[in-house]
Structure 1
Amino acid sequence: MYANHQDQQILPGDFFLPFGGRLSEDNRWVQLAYLIPWRRVEQEYSKHFSKDLRGGRAMSVRMALGALIIQEREGFSDRHLVQHITENPYLQYFLGLEAYQEEPPFDPSLLTYFRKRLGPDAINQVNEWIVQAARHEEESGDDDEPKGNPPNPSEEEGRSKDESQAPCTHQGKLILDATCAPADIAYPTDLALLNTAREKLEDIIDILHAPHVGGMKKPRDRRRQARRDYLRTAKNRKPSRSEIRKAIGRQLRYVARDLRFIEQLGQHTPLTALSKKQYRDLLVIHELHRQQREMYRSRSHRVDDRIVSIAQPDVRPIVRGKAKANVEFGAKVAISVVDGYAMMERTSWDSFNEGTTLIESVERYVERFGCYPEAILADKIYRTRENLRYCKEHGIRLSGPKLGRPPKHVDPEQKKQEYQDMSERNAVEGKFGEAKRSYGLGLIRARLRQTSETVIALQLLVMNLEKRLRLLFWLLFGELLGTYFGAIWSTV
């Protein structure tokens, strides 16, 4: 059951503190609470719940989304997040509580369900609402609008539809790029993966054989010998290629042997005796063994949908060709940057050519802002013939040199324009650096596919909220300076 909390916005002065005093309106969490359209998020969030009055009452969207924003902004673990919320009245106000309480508002285990329930689509939608509100305020220059009260959703949807049907003249610049969000896994090697698979299969054999102890002879899996064979090569600092290949072949035979034993034991003990995680690992190991056997026989290191982690089978190797790491393991993320705000364009666990996202990104730009961009700033991989033809048809300038052989004499104005485009395109690289250094995009700690995508979307949302907070700070600072110098000038 879910109860609406659309009137949950309270003023800092109304937040009850049992030890006296009142919350400061200048606090960053109070200001941040004003920037999020809680009512619109509430309407979207409530659609995921049935109207049946039976069952426990679900947490409010402000509690769920607010907790995830705090976690990504501060880098807390699930357990430490709940501890900090319990100790800090400003965090409790940000979550929508009406008074300070000494008890934890929720259990740390609920954070996984918050990530699943919200999902990346809902987070990206909230991110777009915040970006649209920021652009609308910057364009109109109207700072008298009351905080915390976003426009009517129906009016916004109608306005966006009308604008998308009849785009205005070209306005703004669209910056595109892609990066990899590495997952928190050990660096995968074929030998280590097969050894881990063998150990998990041995545990499954123990569970399936446990009901038949004394009545049926346990299969001889030779786990001690297999462990010695693995350590003989793993502890060697510089094993040769032939030694590694021999060790992989041995582990492949051990894994195949264990899989046959499990198939035989499955005739006597049903696989329902395994836990969900063990059954899932068994399915993953079957596919892992098939891939490793195929690469071993063909003497190659490439295979479609290659598994690099048994715990996270969705993770794929992404070849980036960077100086730090030629190959990264995680989701590939394509984003767009408009006026310093980052928005998600595509998230995929399989490698893709980011140049194919240009047309889709431009169409989303039209839906968001009602007009085509004046220019698209991107690297050379986006300058395909199809993208150039599309940009020419819609009157959009695509940065970079022309296709084909470079001319002998370059126009100075064109060279100046290319240098300016390269300088402005650095904004997207700065966003990647900010997200990876400050907000955790450099190492995604979520374990599931859906929760990992939610965490990636949350990091872009937090980055945009931080930008709005900085602009709000400088606006207030400018007003204070103006008041101060005005008072001085009046006394002269």
Structure 2
Amino acid sequence: MYAHNQDQQILPGEFFLPFGGKLREDNRWVQLAHLIPWRRVEQEYSKLFSTSARGGRAISVRIALGALIIQEREGFSDRDLVQHIAENPYMQYFLGLPAYQEEPLFHPSLMTHFRKRLGPDVLNQVNEWIVLAQRANEQHDNDDDDDEPPAPPTSGEKTSAHGESLEPIPHRGKLILDATCTPADIAFPTDLSLLNEAREKLEDIIDTLHRPYKGKRKKPRDRRQQARRDYLRAAKNRKLSGKELRKAIGKQLRYVGRDLRFVEQLAKLTGLTVLTRRQHRNLLVIHELYRQQLEMFRTRSHRIDDRIVNIAQPHVRPMVRGKVKANVEFGAKLAISVVNGYSLMERVSWDSFNEGTTLIESVENYVKRFGCYPEAILADKIYRNRKNLQYCKKHGIRLSGPKLGRPSKEAIAEHQRIGRLDAGERNAVEGKFGEGKRKYGLGLIRARLRQTSETVIALQLLVMNLNRKLRLLLWFIWVTFARCNFAQTEAAIQFIQQP
């Protein structure tokens, strides 16, 4: 059963504290509570929760989303998060509680369900609402400051389904595009270590399948002790040659193939129903892992499509990035756009893709969000392919980078000046990646499931935008206070100087 409870935002002074006092209105959690459209979020996404009158009362959307934001902002584990919420009245106010509550609001295991229910689509929509609200406020402030009428919209026509020309779409703002890899929390994979892990999991499955016949039927000889010695002999060798490594991988492949045959024989007697859900899932992954490793071993290759690099997270793929720190990273590839310092997710994929193919989709999303085309797109050279150049020329958008052909001598200096300005502005997206990976957790995604990992990535972008909006709000309050003090000081000086 779900009950709506976000009719009105309570004030900090109305929050009941049993030990006396009031909440400070300038606290960060109080300020953040007013930056999120809680009522709109609950109206849109309360349908994800059960509305039946049967069963216990469901956790509200505000508590679920607020708990996820607190966790990603502070870097708490699920258990630590519940404890900090129970000890902090400001966090409870952020979650929409009317009074301080000493008992935990929910069990830590519910955090996994929150990440599944409020997936990346929901979080991206909330993120867009926050960015659109901030952009509307900034445009309103700019309109108030400008005394001159706005310039007429540039060329760029919008056509109907019948090809009729409608009103022209204006061009405003700049769109910055880039992509990065969000590494997963896994050990660096090697073929030898993957096969050894697969063998150990198969030995556990063999024990489970043979347990009903213990004392009645002889257990298959899987030679696990000999296989362990062979693995350690190669893994502990600091100067392992290529020939010795191939020999060690071949041995582990034979051990894994032997165990798979034993599992197949025991499954005919016992059935796979005695296996746990995790064991059954591992068995399916190991079958595919064995096929891939055997094919690479026979062809003497180190590359194969959809290569599995982790048994617990088979969705993780290697991403060849060519960076100095790590040539290959393992995780999801994330393409984002930055508008006025706010980050928006354009695409996230566990398979590698060419980020240049996301430009047209990103521009169309920009038009849907803001109702106009960008004046310019700042991106890497990889985005400057023929299709993207034709698209930008058709819609009157300037794509950063030199124009095709040999420029005239007079235009070289101008092109260089514009290129330096574009490179300086494009640093904003690199700063966002650095901020997300150093401070907010984009550098190591600790979620294990594919869906929850994508939810965590979307949460990181949402938290970054909320913190930017909070910084701007605090800066505005400080500037207003400073201006008031300056005006009062100037008035006092004038009063003193009067004859």
Q: Which amino acid aligns with 2:271?
A: P
Q: Which amino acid aligns with 2:173?
A: G
Q: Which amino acid aligns with 2:433?
A: F
How far is the alpha carbon of 1:91 from its aligned partner? 0.4
Q: Residue 78 of structure 2 corresponds to which residue in structure 1?
A: 78
Q: Residue 293 of structure 1 corresponds to which residue in structure 2?
A: 294
How far is the alpha carbon of 1:48 from its aligned partner? 1.5
In 2: Cα distance, 1:318 partner to 1:265 partner: 38
In 1: Cα distance, 2:466 partner to 2:167 partner: 30
- Aligned to 1:310, the other structure's residue is in SS state coil
Q: Residue 413 of structure 1 corresponds to which residue in structure 2?
A: 414
Q: Residue 201 of structure 2 corresponds to which residue in structure 1?
A: 200
1:156-188 superposed Cα distances (whole Å, 9 cap, x missing partner):
xxxxxxxxx856310000000000000000000
Q: Residue 189 of structure 1 corresponds to which residue in structure 2?
A: 190
- Aligned to 1:411, the other structure's residue is in SS state helix
Q: Residue 155 of structure 1 corresponds to which residue in structure 2?
A: none
Q: Which moved more, 1:398-407 or 1:473-482?
A: 398-407
1:191-237 superposed Cα distances (whole Å, 9 cap, x missing partner):
00000000000000000000001111100000000000000000001
Distance 1:400 1:467, change over 3 A: same
Q: Residue 429 of structure 1 corresponds to which residue in structure 2?
A: 430
How far is the alpha carbon of 1:406 from its aligned partner? 8.2
1:370-403 superposed Cα distances (whole Å, 9 cap, x missing partner):
0000000000000000000000000000001234
In 2: Cα distance, 1:127 partner to 1:23 partner: 27
In 2: Cα distance, 1:238 partner to 1:5 partner: 65
Whether 1:112 and 2:112 are equivalent positions in the alignment is yes
Whether 1:36 and 2:33 are equivalent positions in the alignment is no
Whether 1:230 and 2:231 are equivalent positions in the alignment is yes
Q: Residue 150 of structure 1 corresponds to which residue in structure 2?
A: none
Check whether the contact 2:50–2:58 (CA below 8 A) recurs between aligned residues: no
Q: Residue 88 of structure 1 corresponds to which residue in structure 2?
A: 88
Unaligned 5+ runs, structure 2: 145-165, 494-499
Aligned 1:104-253 pairs, distance under 5 A: 104-141=104-141, 168-253=169-254
In 2: Cα distance, 1:19 partner to 1:168 partner: 58
Q: Residue 268 of structure 1 corresponds to which residue in structure 2?
A: 269
Q: Which moved more, 1:332-341 or 1:410-419?
A: 410-419
In 1: Cα distance, 2:82 partner to 2:65 partner: 14
Q: Which amino acid aligns with 2:205?
A: I
Q: Which amino acid aligns with 2:123?
A: I
Check whether the contact 2:32–2:466 (CA below 8 A) recurs between aligned residues: yes
Q: Which amino acid aligns with 1:9?
A: Q
In 1: Cα distance, 2:35 partner to 2:240 partner: 57
Q: Residue 257 of structure 2 corresponds to which residue in structure 1?
A: 256
In 2: Cα distance, 1:479 partner to 1:485 partner: 10
- Aligned to 1:278, the other structure's residue is in SS state helix
How far is the alpha carbon of 1:437 from its aligned partner? 0.5
Q: Which moved more, 1:58-67 or 1:44-53?
A: 44-53
Check whether the contact 1:167–1:370 (CA below 8 A) recurs between aligned residues: no
1:126-172 superposed Cα distances (whole Å, 9 cap, x missing partner):
0000000000011112999xxxxxxxxxxxxxxxxxxxx85631000
Whether 1:323 and 2:324 are equivalent positions in the alignment is yes
In 2: Cα distance, 1:483 partner to 1:117 partner: 47
In 2: Cα distance, 1:18 partner to 1:8 partner: 22
Distance 1:143 1:269, change over 3 A: farther
How far is the alpha carbon of 1:52 from its aligned partner? 2.2
Q: Residue 393 of structure 2 corresponds to which residue in structure 1?
A: 392
Aligned 1:328-367 pairs, distance under 5 A: 328-367=329-368
Distance 1:3 1:360, change over 3 A: same
How far is the alpha carbon of 1:7 from its aligned partner? 1.6
Distance 1:101 1:143, change over 3 A: farther
How far is the alpha carbon of 1:470 from its aligned partner? 0.6
How far is the alpha carbon of 1:9 from its aligned partner? 2.0
Q: Which amino acid aligns with 2:259?
A: D
Check whether the contact 2:230–2:248 (CA below 8 A) recurs between aligned residues: yes
Check whether the contact 2:318–2:329 (CA below 8 A) recurs between aligned residues: yes
In 2: Cα distance, 1:354 partner to 1:405 partner: 27
How far is the alpha carbon of 1:239 from its aligned partner? 0.4
1:83-116 superposed Cα distances (whole Å, 9 cap, x missing partner):
1111110001101111111111111111000000
- Aligned to 2:228, the other structure's residue is in SS state helix
In 1: Cα distance, 2:351 partner to 2:40 partner: 33
How far is the alpha carbon of 1:410 from its aligned partner? 5.7
How far is the alpha carbon of 1:47 from its aligned partner? 2.0
In 2: Cα distance, 1:448 partner to 1:404 partner: 48
Check whether the contact 1:167–1:372 (CA below 8 A) recurs between aligned residues: no
In 2: Cα distance, 1:442 partner to 1:50 partner: 35
Q: Residue 497 of structure 2 corresponds to which residue in structure 1?
A: none
Distance 1:126 1:215, change over 3 A: same
In 1: Cα distance, 2:368 partner to 2:83 partner: 41
Distance 1:394 1:227, change over 3 A: same
Q: Residue 482 of structure 1 corresponds to which residue in structure 2?
A: 483
Check whether the contact 1:378–1:399 (CA below 8 A) recurs between aligned residues: yes
Q: Which amino acid aligns with 1:179?
A: T
In 2: Cα distance, 1:109 partner to 1:9 partner: 28
How far is the alpha carbon of 1:44 from its aligned partner? 1.9
* TM-score when normalising by structure 2: 0.93
Whether 1:6 and 2:11 are equivalent positions in the alignment is no
- Aligned to 1:331, the other structure's residue is in SS state strand
Check whether the contact 2:359–2:383 (CA below 8 A) recurs between aligned residues: yes
- Aligned to 1:426, the other structure's residue is in SS state helix
In 2: Cα distance, 1:293 partner to 1:318 partner: 22
How far is the alpha carbon of 1:483 from its aligned partner? 0.9
How far is the alpha carbon of 1:120 from its aligned partner? 0.3
Q: Residue 453 of structure 2 corresponds to which residue in structure 1?
A: 452
> Considering only aligned residues, what root-mean-square deviation do their CA atoms show, in Å?
1.7
In 2: Cα distance, 1:207 partner to 1:167 partner: 69
In 1: Cα distance, 2:300 partner to 2:13 partner: 70
- Aligned to 2:445, the other structure's residue is in SS state coil
How far is the alpha carbon of 1:51 from its aligned partner? 3.2
In 1: Cα distance, 2:354 partner to 2:239 partner: 36
1:236-286 superposed Cα distances (whole Å, 9 cap, x missing partner):
012001111111000000000000000000011111111111100000000
1:304-343 superposed Cα distances (whole Å, 9 cap, x missing partner):
0000000000000001001110000000000000000000
- Aligned to 1:141, the other structure's residue is in SS state helix
- Aligned to 1:376, the other structure's residue is in SS state strand
